[in-house]
Amino acid sequence: MAINTPTPHISAQRGDFAKTVLMPGDPLRAKFIAENFLENPRLVNNVRGIQGYTGTYKGVPVSVMASGMGMPSIGIYSYELFSAYDVENIIRVGSAGAMQSSIKIRDIVIGMGACTNSNYAIQYGLSGTFAPIASYKILEACVNTAKEMGVSYHVGNLLSSDTFYSDDNSSDWGKMGVMAVEMESAALYMNASRLGKNALAICTISDHLITKEETTSDERQSSFTEMMILALETAIKL
């Protein structure tokens, strides 16, 4: 579906976004990335406080804009970026809860796939179950960059959940090897698949479902810099 600019949720004009956009859930994390890592960032969207900036990183144009929380929210923003603003690549930079004892607080998880308990895929009218996966182009670039940086990372399945407070038993997903739970990646991957674009989720472990360790909201907003740099270094390779 063709969308005119500005869109219902983004006030920017066509050309205001770079071809690669980093998407944290938190608008303040978007602001932090823009102010601390981008050269000459300019605010291109602030509808509903969902801050979007475009600048350069090591001379390469890069944008960053918040997605909000949950699949309906990132579903809207990523669809509009892909469809109306000629964005080719979206890299989610978020937080996640570890579901494996081998994964530690502040480790980085790269989402090769995104299981989900959402009905987001029902809109496509498929006769089976769609498996949302990352774009290999970005996944390969990110893994190679992580190796170069020497960061502690894991690659595998995420669980994108529609609920934060839930009666579901998350350990059932963990026993299938799912690494961590978050709330956005599956919808992002489905939008990218449907529209012929590229997407990847890079998450920092902010809390642990097994050990019960957790980070604070301030730490999640501004201290996950290793993930931010990994995403930016990946972005300039695309």
Which residue numbers are catalytic?
Answer: 207
Q: Name the nearest CA neighbour of 196 among 94, 106, 86.
A: 86
